[in-house]
Structure 1
Amino acid sequence: MPILSRRAFALSGVAATMALSSGRAVASAASSPRGELAGQSDLFVDLSTPMGNVEAYARIVGDTDPAATSYSWYAGRVSGQRPGEAARDLMRIIGMGTVRLLKRENGPGYMMLRKELGYFLDFETHEVIDRWENPYSGETVTVDHIANPSINIELKPYRGDIGLYEEVDKATSQPFLLNWTRVGDRVLTENYADLWVRNPLDPEIWKRESSGLMIAISDSNSFNVSWADLQNPALTKVSSYGQWVHRRPWQPWMLMGQAEGAISYICATGSAASLYDLPEQIVTLARERHPDFLEAPTEMTKGESSLARYMRTRTPAPPRERAE
């Protein structure tokens, strides 16, 4: 709900949640982009080449038919963890993304245009929560669900500087090569990012919302696809399942300020060619709350991070009243 460049995937939930990755190789049990996965003249996509990785990845996270809207979903739990304590479950989360791929105008590859939704749920009832009692503070707060209307990500043979946050440790350009492992007809890969970025929420202004001047965000998206589908030139979209793991500071609406600790999202993920292949709950919620998110963008518009959107649409919370 839910990684492409070292900056791009911290933008969204699966994306965010699908849009970020570092250029470091992921340890693999069996294969790499070389050997049995690459170098054969009869392969539709050659995973030893950057452009082969772009074509494979584009068909996993989207649909290379520019007229098509493709979908992704995620569902899992949100846990919190403070120093000296075990992690504890706080709530559940379910979300979806709508994606359109367009050919890049200034080079090979694709521009991924994406919208993303996510809703926080009661851990026991699985119902949407708009108010939440923070077990760490005992305060009841207003929940700010995920609604990112514009996430633009370039899928190209080299990783560039793309993202929604001001980064401190910018990575240099390098070839877009994922690590792939084949087990029979299944092929697995991961795209991930570890970011250290400036927080849009100034702690001098957003005293109860901001976790500090700098924030650490980590994203990992894994994908499990069919090798036969990946090598089938008739398929513009390849079905996938996987996992999204996202770690970040407390959400600003939790009103934890600069208290030590972090939250993690641990979610199952999947892709879909139609709304009928998404979990029913997320489609129902989207129809009720954000029906315009059910269709992918048709043109690029300016994107912003969830924290920047929070800053634009909310006002700083007043000091908490002390109990007498």
Structure 2
Amino acid sequence: MLDLHQPENLLQTFVKVRSSLKPDEIIFAWSGNIYSVIPGQRNRLLFSIDGYNVGRCIEVPGGYQHLMREVTFYKDPASGEILEHWQNPFTEQAVNVVHVWNDPVNQQYLLDGPYGKFVLPITPLGKDRLCASMDIMLAYPSPLPRAQYPQYSQSDLYQGAEMFQFFFSRQDAENPDLFSIPCDISWTRLGPWLPWMEMADRPGSLLYHCSGYKLTEGYQEIPVAVRNYVEQQQPKYMHAPDEFTRPNETSWTYFKKHRAQK
């Protein structure tokens, strides 16, 4: 019986859900929509998205390191085509789309972390289903200060929220013969305008609503259009990293580098 109050059980369960107790490559894929949220205006569908991350968990003293890369592509919600350019309906300007190419997005899952013992809220759903939740509230100095990037930055403070739910079977989690278990995910994000939208400091935010799952067949299960785009543009994202490195990449730090190269 899985004891939901024991940090050791929670840590091992989360690694089985999120990746694998073995150092195998595991892929999560997701799709969904992005909406504008502007005070006094009706919310507006701007993009659909497809993305995935590919990673492996490595056991280290005291826990695990999760080595990952991730991509997300902004698509036309009507045609489903991956966008290269976008006509901004708020500024009426054409802009170049900068997709998510984050390498790395590494994590550490430690039994004794900087804030104490490993904690993972898990809610029972009926007899067998469980839901693990992670609500991440973000607020830190923006990599794109307004004074230097007035066209691309909404604020000197990056402020947002990322809310994840992982749905899985209690029976799978309690099975000692399973190193990795099936999982479905829900992901909701509230964040500022993307830098490449060139919205400056206009009021408003972006709301992301996505669902996804752990792929059982690996990379070949990713949609063909996404695979083709990755293999043509940056094929290293077909596989997980081999070493744990810092700092992590975000859409803001990637855009900063992308802008500098231009």
CA contact (8 A) 2:10 2:118 kept: no
Q: Which has the higher strand share?
A: 2
Same amino acid, percent of matched pairs: 23
Q: Could you say which residue in structure 1 is the equivalent of 2:189? A: 246
> How much is the aligned-residue C-alpha RMSD, in angstroms?
1.8
Q: Give the secondary structure class of the aligned counterpart of 1:314.
A: helix
Q: Could you say which residue in structure 1 is the equivalent of 2:166? A: 223
Q: Could you say which residue in structure 2 is the equivalent of 1:192? A: 135
In the TM superposition, 1:44-55 aligns within 5 A as 45-55=2-12
1:9-47 deviation per Cα after TM superposition (whole angstroms, max 9, x unaligned): xxxxxxxxxxxxxxxxxxxxxxxxxxxxxxxxxx3x432
User: What are the ranges of 5 or more consecutive residues in structure 2 without an aligned counterpart?
Assistant: none
- 1:195 CA displacement: 1.5
User: Matches of 1:282 and 1:316 in 2, distance apart?
Assistant: 25
Q: Could you say which residue in structure 2 is the equivalent of 1:295? A: 239
Residue type at the aligned position of 1:305: T
Q: Give the secondary structure class of the aligned counterpart of 1:150.
A: coil
Residue type at the aligned position of 2:102: N
User: In the alignment, does 2:19 pair up with 1:62?
Assistant: yes
User: Matches of 2:77 and 2:26 in 1, distance apart?
Assistant: 29
User: In the alignment, does 2:219 pair up with 1:275?
Assistant: yes
Q: Give the secondary structure class of the aligned counterpart of 1:151.
A: coil
Q: Could you say which residue in structure 2 is the equivalent of 1:260? A: 203
User: What are the ranges of 5 or more consecutive residues in structure 1 without an aligned counterpart?
Assistant: 1-42, 161-171, 318-324
In structure 2, relative to structure 1, the CA distance for the partners of 1:278 and 1:227 (3 Å cut) is farther
Q: Could you say which residue in structure 2 is the equivalent of 1:308? A: 253
Q: Which consecutive segments of 4 or more residues in structure 1 shift more than 3 A?
A: 172-175, 276-281
Count of residue pairs brought into register by the alignment: 260
In structure 2, relative to structure 1, the CA distance for the partners of 1:186 and 1:280 (3 Å cut) is farther
1:105-155 deviation per Cα after TM superposition (whole angstroms, max 9, x unaligned): 3x2x11001100110000100010010011111111000000011111111
CA contact (8 A) 2:152 2:199 kept: yes
In the TM superposition, 1:3-152 aligns within 5 A as 43=1, 45-66=2-23, 68-105=24-61, 107=62, 109-152=63-106
Q: Give the secondary structure class of the aligned counterpart of 1:58.
A: helix
TM-score by length of 1: 0.76
Q: Give the secondary structure class of the aligned counterpart of 1:308.
A: helix
TM-score by length of 2: 0.93
Residue type at the aligned position of 1:314: R
Residue type at the aligned position of 1:295: H
CA contact (8 A) 1:208 1:316 kept: no
